[in-house]
Amino acid sequence: MEFSTRYVALGDSFTEGLGDTDPALPNQVRGWADRAAEQLAMAHPEESLGYANLAIRGKKMTQILAEQIDAAVALQPTLVTIYAGVNDILRPKVDIDAMIGRYSEGLGRLAATGARLLVFTGYDASSSKVFASIRGRTAIYNELLREVVESHGGELVDYWRFREYDDWRLWGIDRMHMSTPGHINMANRVLEQLGESVRIPMPELPPIPMKTTAEVLKDNATWTKEYVGPWVSRRLRGVSSGDNLSARWPSLRSPVTP
């Protein structure tokens, strides 16, 4: 291939870029992976950077492994990032041990390419009254994942410990996906993990609004109607928000542009 650096991003909505809206881009999102890839290209103009993003919202572990691993390996990556498993953890029932076993096989295939492999832990949602209930599951998943990543010579991007995400201004209005500032911060975290000195300037965050109890209740009711209801409905019907979507950047491309 013509690219000396080949970066492939895998996963679900987290890596696809939900919450960082850009109508001009495929699937109308941008996201931390696009932003990190841009910075890598600008920081190393002497190299030719190829970037592909195979992530699709709503995908569970089995789907990510079945649909994205082979495609990533075929691109002969030199750098891979992957985030998977949280959509499984959110289900009423999940066999975490079995899921991690399958994940280990997929990570092993990615590691066998010789690429630098960055794997994300799950986020500690203890600050969310809604998602705090999955904290125990996520902690078990993360503990098993740490051992698996180490066994394959990968690196952890330890999202669980990124306490800045307790600030809800880093989250979008759906309270499930990062906002644009959240994606910028995550891009910087990944650049730090890679040992890069370049950083994307963080936008100024708006003041935290002071709301009455009535206003909070109204906001929660609106959120439940507009986001929780449709999410639950999709689960009951066995469909996903990503069923009719394709990967945003299925092939290596350069340069990465806004």
Number of domains in the chain: 1
* Least confident span in 153-157, 173-177, 233-237: 233-237
Q: Summarize pLDDT for 97-147 with one digit per residue, the tens.
A: 999 999 999 999 999 999 999 999 999 988 877 778 889 999 999 999 999
| Alpha carbon distance 10, 212 (integer Å) | 41
Residue 79 belongs to some domain of the structure: yes
Residue 180 belongs to some domain of the structure: yes
Residue 135 belongs to some domain of the structure: yes
The DSSP letter of residue 85 is S
Residue 258 belongs to some domain of the structure: no
Q: Does the pLDDT at position 258 exceed 60?
A: no
In which domain, by residue range, is 231 found? 5-253
* φ, ψ at 181 (rounded to 5°): -60, -35
Residue 25 belongs to some domain of the structure: yes
Residue 123 belongs to some domain of the structure: yes
Q: Give start and end residues of each alpha helix (H) in 194-246.
A: 213-223, 229-237
Domain CATH for 145: 3.40.50.1110
